[in-house]
Amino acid sequence: MQLNQYIDHTSLKAVATPGDIIQLCKEAKKHQFYAVCVNGSYVRLAGEALKGSGVKVAAVIGFPLGAMDTRSKIFEARECTASGADEIDMVINIGELKDGNLKFVEDEISEIKKAIGTKVLKVIIETCYLTEDEKIAACKCALNAKADFVKTSTGFGSGGATFEDVKLMKSIVGDKLQVKASGGIKDAETAANYIKLGASRLGTSSGIFIISKS
């Protein structure tokens, strides 16, 4: 199993500097990770640093709370793709989901997917805040809205990915959507177990350590 091609090499901290992002991209090129995942302000910088490498650029939007209005998320997504992002990792409006407003959640995902066209859309449902029924509902919203992935976590909530959540999410989306596990993945054994459970992408800032031990 080539773990490097499952990894989105990630740096999303508020204190990440341009130099940190350039270093992230150097590491991603050296180890041939699938993508780097960065905040929107660094998309263009990452794209320039990765030019010709084959490593994708993923950008987060509505991050990390998901509570900004839909028009702002759409604008952010368009700006990121215009700046060179290949993939968008969006956070759903968790409050609307918990209030049972599934139409709002589904429509927002759908509008963002339409705004980015053929670019990949990953939908972060932030499992740590959801009941099992809410996790199922969120996955169904992403399915109906024709997203490309469902993703467990931002890594900034009260908890990250769990084996149980990935198993549940995969059981709902099947082969129609892919699953990204993110948050708290720090070693090769854990990474491999997520892949066995059906995750096709892993979000982690520990990618170098993970592949060095695989």
> How many Cα atoms are found within 13 Å in the side-chain-facing hemisphere of 157?
21
User: Tokens at residue 59, please?
Assistant: 């950008």
CB 8 within 8 A of CB 36: yes
- Residue 3, classed as helix, strand or coil, is helix
Tokens 């959540």, residue?
A: 165
The CA distance from 96 to 108, in Å, is 11
Catalytic residues: 89, 151, 180
CB atoms closer than 10 angstroms to residue 118:
7
